[in-house]
């Protein structure tokens, strides 16, 4: 769900302007000062609904998992204060300080998320740096774990909400898994319709959810105010030192209270920094802190409530209403991660880490709202398998932590390079700032690594598969480019010799797709060889994918005259821009080029990749790349070229 697209220049702070929707040319609809206050309030409400759904549903299971029997942590007064203190101060240090304060500054033209951060880090060190390819690996590992997180989030969130029925009566236990699968299937089935209709309810529903968290927390704190001692970080430190290895193991469950921190950074571009920060400090953080304190107070009074402290905060009468409200909240949290998966996949395609896929734009007003069918159904299948395979939210918790902490760790590493090489901060300051968070992230990761045999293997296996796919496609494209470059014919020299004895020219415009840095398009050579004609106007079209989220309309097109009615046209897209060649070509009017689609033919070379022995990648990776290449979405379809005006010519390329 996308409420806003901030299209800022390098020298503009996204905090200074807000907008609800974007026009086709990426222009903001609302910019006047008189609307700033109302727009800020609306965007803040939207951020509450979208950005904080994941971390906002953590109270459903976090406290219960910390004291789960498998961790060996006794439910004592001191341990309870220590755990609550750890959670509160973890929210302060990890979410408030790292993500809300530091990470929101590391924006890529107003956009956040690990792919945007990766592009920013790579731009900071340049391609010649020895850090370039290691940073690619770091970024892809983080992205793959985000994909793993987006699988586990719907599974554990919805499952933990439905498990509330068991608190009401054990008779519902056999129906928990079937109901969870049903809710998930309905959620994924509705993705193709977009969230324009129901998205307006996300903010109010989640605001009601956070209000309920706060109220429940206050009521339980009133019953036992002694829990407020947990606000003193001394209890957290004492807990860690007194319990040693047991405390270290419990950190793997404490981290569940911070899941979703990455989402607030990823969704920054949808709302702007100020609404995201305001939503956190004014609503989300106070509600979460109060509820964790309230659950601590409840357990101090009634240790038997540990079986499910969240649903026992108000007594038996509240279970069914809380199940209904928590189910809605977890569906919204899941929706946010699903939409985030679509957005990250689209970015990965644009940055050259995945093959082209079918991308459906589900809203005419909000260009960031997309649906990718293949990703949707693959993700649903894996989510359902996770629910059925793990069987309970407690079992899924072990898998959840490793995915979250790996992404957090990779984000911190990338941030160091942005702070050091882009912001040019002092090396000591960079090491101190990011090193502090690196120690925290590494500790949490190490605590979760102890659970690899108890479910942590799941996101690691899933991440390894995704990283392999991403790296194989990236490396395969590089090999393909090298091969094409080796056999390419320089365009300028070819045109000069061609027009010494020009072929017969026919009416209309011929547009030949030309890869960036390539020579004469193979489609042109085939056309001349077989048809022995040339259109009266020839356009060599090159699509450039920039490492920035959006390209401004006035920078979209570059036209270069080559003589003899031949032109080189460059179309520049950011990794979040909608690809639409006919719309982009309309911008050529300012350069004196007008296009009538009924008189224009698009020539596209379809490359068939053949894997060979020796050099390049391992044979199995070359075979994987060839398979992905054959099944990639057709270029004409991806770029929205009219199907009736496309001529495809094939060529074989060895790697």
Q: Which of 187-196, 262-271, 317-326, 543-552 has the highest mean pLDDT?
A: 317-326
Which of 455, 482, 514 represents a domain boundary (last residue)?
455
> Does any domain span residue 483?
no
Q: What is the CATH number of the domain that holds 72?
A: 1.20.1740.10
Task: Based on the fold, state whether residues 37 and 96 are members of the same structural domain.
Answer: yes
Query: Total domain count for the chain?
Result: 2
> Does any domain span residue 557?
yes
pLDDT at residue 363, rounded to an integer = 65
Task: Give the pair of three-digit tokens for residue 243.
Answer: 């319990």
**pLDDT tens track for 366-407:** 555 788 999 999 999 999 999 999 988 888 888 888 988 999
pLDDT at residue 365, rounded to an integer = 55
Are 345 and 376 in contact by the 8 Å Cβ rule? The answer is: no
**pLDDT tens track for 26-64:** 333 333 343 466 688 888 888 888 889 889 999 998 998
Q: Stretch 332-351: mean pLDDT, rounded? A: 85
Are 42 and 204 in contact by the 8 Å Cβ rule? The answer is: no
> Does any domain span residue 471?
no
Task: Based on the fold, state whether residues 181 and 245 are members of the same structural domain.
Answer: yes
pLDDT at residue 82, rounded to an integer = 95
The backbone region for 357, taken as left when phi is positive above 0, alpha when psi lies in -120 to 50, beta otherwise, is beta
Instruction: Name the average pLDDT for the chain.
Output: 85
**pLDDT tens track for 173-225:** 888 999 999 999 998 998 887 765 566 788 899 999 999 999 999 999 999 99
What number of CA atoms fall less than 13 Å from residue 429's CA on the CB side? 8
pLDDT at residue 18, rounded to an integer = 34
d(CA 334, CA 380): 11
**pLDDT tens track for 267-291:** 777 778 888 899 999 999 999 999 9
- The fraction of the chain above a pLDDT of 90, given in percent, is 43
Task: Based on the fold, state whether residues 325 and 405 are members of the same structural domain.
Answer: yes
Lowest mean pLDDT among 2-11, 334-343, 620-629: 2-11
Are 156 and 400 in contact by the 8 Å Cβ rule? The answer is: yes
d(CA 366, CA 368): 6
Task: Give the pair of three-digit tokens for residue 475.
Answer: 């490396």
Total residues found in the chain within this entry: 655
Strands (E), 514-599: 533-545, 557-563, 566-573
User: Vertex 308, ends 304 and 309: CA angle to 5°?
Assistant: 75
d(CA 475, CA 317): 58
pLDDT at residue 16, rounded to an integer = 36
Q: Stretch 120-145: mean pLDDT, rounded? A: 89
Q: Tell whether pTM > 0.85.
A: no
d(CA 463, CA 475): 18
Task: Based on the fold, state whether residues 514 and 372 are members of the same structural domain.
Answer: no
Lowest mean pLDDT among 441-445, 521-525, 584-588: 521-525
d(CA 354, CA 348): 6
> Does any domain span residue 401?
yes
Question: Is pLDDT of 310 > 80?
Answer: yes
Which of 399, 428, 455 represents a domain boundary (last residue)?
455
The backbone region for 483, taken as left when phi is positive above 0, alpha when psi lies in -120 to 50, beta otherwise, is alpha
Are 601 and 511 in contact by the 8 Å Cβ rule? The answer is: yes
Which of 407, 435, 455 represents a domain boundary (last residue)?
455
**pLDDT tens track for 431-451:** 998 999 999 999 999 999 988
**pLDDT tens track for 215-264:** 999 999 999 999 999 999 999 999 999 998 999 989 988 999 998 888 78
d(CA 217, CA 93): 21
The secondary structure of residue 583, as a DSSP letter, is H
C-beta neighbour count of 241 within 10 angstroms: 10
Question: Is pLDDT of 573 > 80?
Answer: yes
Question: Is pLDDT of 23 > 50?
Answer: no
Task: Give the pair of three-digit tokens for residue 419.
Answer: 């702070």
Are 138 and 441 in contact by the 8 Å Cβ rule? The answer is: no
d(CA 418, CA 140): 16
Are 544 and 571 in contact by the 8 Å Cβ rule? The answer is: yes
Task: Based on the fold, state whether residues 281 and 372 are members of the same structural domain.
Answer: yes
Task: Based on the fold, state whether residues 580 and 451 are members of the same structural domain.
Answer: no
Task: Give the pair of three-digit tokens for residue 561.
Answer: 């005259």
d(CA 97, CA 573): 33
User: Vertex 56, ends 233 and 409: CA angle to 5°?
Assistant: 65
Task: Based on the fold, state whether residues 406 and 523 are members of the same structural domain.
Answer: no
Local confidence band at 514 (pLDDT 50, 70, 90 cut-offs): confident
User: Vertex 515, ends 571 and 504: CA angle to 5°?
Assistant: 90
Task: Based on the fold, state whether residues 403 and 511 are members of the same structural domain.
Answer: no
Task: Based on the fold, state whether residues 432 and 558 are members of the same structural domain.
Answer: no
SS3 call for 111: strand
Q: What is the CA radius of gyration of the chain?
A: 27
Task: Based on the fold, state whether residues 510 and 434 are members of the same structural domain.
Answer: no
Task: Based on the fold, state whether residues 497 and 451 are members of the same structural domain.
Answer: no
pLDDT at residue 7, rounded to an integer = 29
pLDDT at residue 506, rounded to an integer = 92
**pLDDT tens track for 594-624:** 999 889 999 988 777 777 776 678 888 988 9
Domain limits at 338? 14-455
Question: Is pLDDT of 13 > 70?
Answer: no
> Does any domain span residue 49?
yes
> Does any domain span residue 470?
no
Give 348-363 as a DSSP string: HHHTTSS-----EE--
The secondary structure of residue 633, as a DSSP letter, is P
> Does any domain span residue 474?
no
> Does any domain span residue 231?
yes
Task: Based on the fold, state whether residues 436 and 287 are members of the same structural domain.
Answer: yes
């Amino acid at each position: 769900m996308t409420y806003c697209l901030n299209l800022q220049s390098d020298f503009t702070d996204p905090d200074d302007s807000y907008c609800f929707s974007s026009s086709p040319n990426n222009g903001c609809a609302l910019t006047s000062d008189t609307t700033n206050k109302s727009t800020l309030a609306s965007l803040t409400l939207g951020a509450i609904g979208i950005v904080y759904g994941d971390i906002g549903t953590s109270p459903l299971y976090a406290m219960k998992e910390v004291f789960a029997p498998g961790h060996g942590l006794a439910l004592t007064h001191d341990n309870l204060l220590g755990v609550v203190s750890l959670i509160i101060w973890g929210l302060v240090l990890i979410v408030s300080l790292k993500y809300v304060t530091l990470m929101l500054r590391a924006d890529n033209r107003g956009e956040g998320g690990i792919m945007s951060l990766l592009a920013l880090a790579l731009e900071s060190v340049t391609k010649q740096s020895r850090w370039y390819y290691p940073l690619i690996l770091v970024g892809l590992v983080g992205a793959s774990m985000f994909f793993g997180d987006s699988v586990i989030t719907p599974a554990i969130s919805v499952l933990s909400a439905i498990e509330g029925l068991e608190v009401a009566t054990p008779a519902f236990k056999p129906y928990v898994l079937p109901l969870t699968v049903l809710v998930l299937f309905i959620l994924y089935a509705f993705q193709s319709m977009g969230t324009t209709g129901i998205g307006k309810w996300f903010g109010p529903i989640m605001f009601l959810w956070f209000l309920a968290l706060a109220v429940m927390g206050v009521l339980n704190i009133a019953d036992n105010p002694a829990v407020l001692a947990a606000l003193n970080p001394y209890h957290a430190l004492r807990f860690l030192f007194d319990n040693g290895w047991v405390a270290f193991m419990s950190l793997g469950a404490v981290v569940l209270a911070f899941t979703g921190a990455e989402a607030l950074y990823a969704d920054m571009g949808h709302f702007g920094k100020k609404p995201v920060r305001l939503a956190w400090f004014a609503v989300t953080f106070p509600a979460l802190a109060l509820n964790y304190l309230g659950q601590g107070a409840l357990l101090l009074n009634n240790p038997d409530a540990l079986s499910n402290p969240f649903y026992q905060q108000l007594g038996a009468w509240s279970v069914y209403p809380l199940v209904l409200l928590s189910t809605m909240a977890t569906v919204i949290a899941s929706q946010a991660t699903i939409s985030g998966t679509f957005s990250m996949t689209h970015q990965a395609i644009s940055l050259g880490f995945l093959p082209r896929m079918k991308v459906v734009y589900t809203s005419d007003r909000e260009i960031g709202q997309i649906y990718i069918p293949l990703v949707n159904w693959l993700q649903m299948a894996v989510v359902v398998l996770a629910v059925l395979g793990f069987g309970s939210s407690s079992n899924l918790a072990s898998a959840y932590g490793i995915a979250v902490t790996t992404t957090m760790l990779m984000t911190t590493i990338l941030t160091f390079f942005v702070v050091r090489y882009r912001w040019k901060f002092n090396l000591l300051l960079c090491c101190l700032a990011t090193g502090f968070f690196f120690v925290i992230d590494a500790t949490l990761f190490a605590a979760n690594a102890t659970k690899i045999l108890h479910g942590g293997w799941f996101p690691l296996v899933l991440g390894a598969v995704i990283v392999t796919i991403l790296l194989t496609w990236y490396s395969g494209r590089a090999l393909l480019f090298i091969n094409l470059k080796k056999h390419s014919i320089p365009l300028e020299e070819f045109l000069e010799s061609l027009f010494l004895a020009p072929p017969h020219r026919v009416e209309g415009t011929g547009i030949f797709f030309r890869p960036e840095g390539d020579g004469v398009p193979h489609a042109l050579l085939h056309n001349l060889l077989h048809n022995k004609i040339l259109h009266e106007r020839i356009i060599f079209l090159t699509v450039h994918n920039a490492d920035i989220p959006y390209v401004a309309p006035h920078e979209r097109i570059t036209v270069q005259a080559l003589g003899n009615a031949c032109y080189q046209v460059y179309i520049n897209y950011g990794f979040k821009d909608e690809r639409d060649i006919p719309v982009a070509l309309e911008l050529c009017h300012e350069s004196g080029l007008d296009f009538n689609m009924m008189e224009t033919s698009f020539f596209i070379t379809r490359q068939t990749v053949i894997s060979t022995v020796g050099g390049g990648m391992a044979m199995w990776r070359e075979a994987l790349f060839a398979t992905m290449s054959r099944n990639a979405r057709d270029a004409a379809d991806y770029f929205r070229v009219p199907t009736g005006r496309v001529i495809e010519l094939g060529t074989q390329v060895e790697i």
